[in-house]
Structure 1
Amino acid sequence: MSDENAEKLFLQEKPTRALLFIGSMGKTYASVISKEIDSTFAHTTRILAKMEQCGLIRFTFEGRIKFVELTEYGREVEAALKEFRDIIAEEPPEIQEEKSRETGVEKEEFTAGEEEKEPEQVEELDPLSAEILEKVKKLRSKIESIHREAVEQGDSKDTISRKLGPYSRDIKKLQNQIERAESPINEIVTSALNESEELLEMYLRN
């Protein structure tokens, strides 16, 4: 990876957070990363695509679920980023000495090296795409809520499968609606539905 590409990628907050999160999880998938770094799914996939091009991550499949994990090179970069993070988290000796001398004096807070978050373009959806996306969001929220409650209650795998199984039909209905649509449905909507399907399948398998 060239110095220029590295600078563009890791002097931004979200790519750095994404790589560190992938390293901490060992193996995860795009929608989870998207939530962790507070980014849209589309923006997250663009970040991951750049990381894959740089040889930092690789994608693997288990059934129909697409996972992402660090390569050996990615783990080396992760270690370097952690070291850098720890260094800048420490106060310079000069500041520590000044603080020890200025007891009771309110100091001005500052943050070094923090840059403005990368703006994300919000694409305007056509009415049908917006309607289906809202349905997908509600369905995903319901699936996550039921799974969370089931885990908290200590339900067995079979019980969780019985509770979540019917939602496969709801996903299929939305897929059919997209296929029958007279005009093309926005990619954001299809990606969101695919991620919801992958999430449900993971819940049903684990």
Structure 2
Amino acid sequence: MSDENAEKLFLQEKPTLALIFIGSREKTYASVISKEIDSTFAHTTRILAKMEQCGLIRFTFEGRIKFVELTEYGGEVETALKEFRDIIAEEPSENREEKSERKDTGTEGEGEEAAGEEEEKEPEQKEELDPLSAEILEKTKKLRNKIESIHRDAVEQGDSRDAISRKLGPYSRDIKKLQNQIERAESPINETVISALEESEKLLESYLKG
């Protein structure tokens, strides 16, 4: 995997959480990691495969159990990520000084109001997606809308759970196709896109279970 792809991997939340969690254990395995980072097992295995390609982890077997552990290089990256996380979690000293000055001059409320305005603007700023991520996200949105529409109509018509399952069951294949497309992608797909597909999968599962 190229350095660029490795960089993209760790600019996403779940790969970072996964690596830090693996580092906190002498050995662990994929299903445990999946629960810890609140991800599907399929997505977790894709993350681990990319980490292995980067030389960050290795798989070992004890009987039939497949364990995951960090390589020496993976340990170095994990340490750097934790240090980075701790640094950005700290409030810069100049910010603390500015707050103190605002409090002394009676302008603290004005500063908070301005900060509030910035926070309101932030959600409007959308991350620019690469063409493939944008394509998959659009397909995911259309698929979810279709699933919700079919389920809503079926409920309004008083369809049985079995009838609803027959109508929605085929859409599991559509979700699988998108998952395969993500897995075959040459570069990592944006985490927002993956999360949207996971949410759609969970929604469909909840409808099928009734």
Smaller-chain TM-score range? 0.5 to 0.7
1:17 maps to: 17
Whole-Å Cα distance in 2 between the matches of residues 119 and 38 of structure 1? 16
Question: Is 1:31–2:105 an aligned residue pair?
Answer: no
Structure 1 counterpart of 2:94: 94
- Output aligned runs, 1:115-130, within 5 Å: 117-120=191-194, 121-122=197-198
Q: Which runs of 5+ in 2 are unaligned?
A: 128-189
Select the structure with the greater relative contact order (CA < 8 A; seq sep ≥ 6): 1
Identity %: 77
> Deviation digits for residues 138-159 of structure 1, max 9, x if unmatched?
xxxxxxxxxxxxxxxxxxxxxx
Number of the residue aligned with 1:3: 3
For this pair of structures, how many residues does the alignment match?
127
SS class of match (2:79): helix
Structure 2: how far apart are the matches of 1:117 and 1:97?
Answer: 36
Q: Please give the alpha-carbon distance, in whole angstroms, between the structure 1 residues aligned to 2:100 and 2:24.
A: 36
Q: What is the TM-score when the length of structure 1 is the normalising length?
A: 0.53
Taking only aligned residues, the RMSD between alpha carbons, in angstroms, comes to 3.1
How big is the shift at 1:74?
Answer: 0.2
State the distance in 1 between where 2:191 and 2:54 align: 22
The Cα of 1:89 is off from its aligned counterpart by 1.1
Residue-by-residue CA offset, 1:108-166 (whole Å, 9 max, x unaligned): 3769xxx8843333587xxxxx7xx97xxxxxxxxxxxxxxxxxxxxxxxxxxxxxxxx
SS at match of 1:34: helix
Runs of 4+ in 1 over 4 A off after TM superposition: none
Task: Tell me, in whole angstroms, the C-alpha distance in 2 between the residues paired with 1:65 and 1:101.
Answer: 59
1:60 partner letter: T
1:26-46 Cα shifts (integer Å, max 9, x gaps): 211101111111110000000
CA distance, structure 2, for counterparts of residue 17 and residue 97 of structure 1: 32
SS at match of 1:118: helix
Equivalents in 2 of 1:87, 1:11: separation in Å?
A: 16
The residue aligned with 1:181 is none
1:33 aligned counterpart, secondary structure: helix
Q: State the 1:102 CA deviation.
A: 2.7
TM-score, scaled relative to structure 2? 0.53
The whole-number CA distance in structure 2 between the counterparts of 1:93 and 1:42 is 42
Unaligned runs of 5+ in 1: 125-129, 135-206
Secondary structure of the structure 1 residue equivalent to 2:58: strand
Richer in helix (by share): 2
1 CA distance for matches of 2:63 and 2:3?
Answer: 37
How do 1:1-206 residues align onto structure 2 when only pairs under 5 Å count?
A: 2-103=2-103, 105-106=108-109, 107=112, 108=115, 117-120=191-194, 121-122=197-198
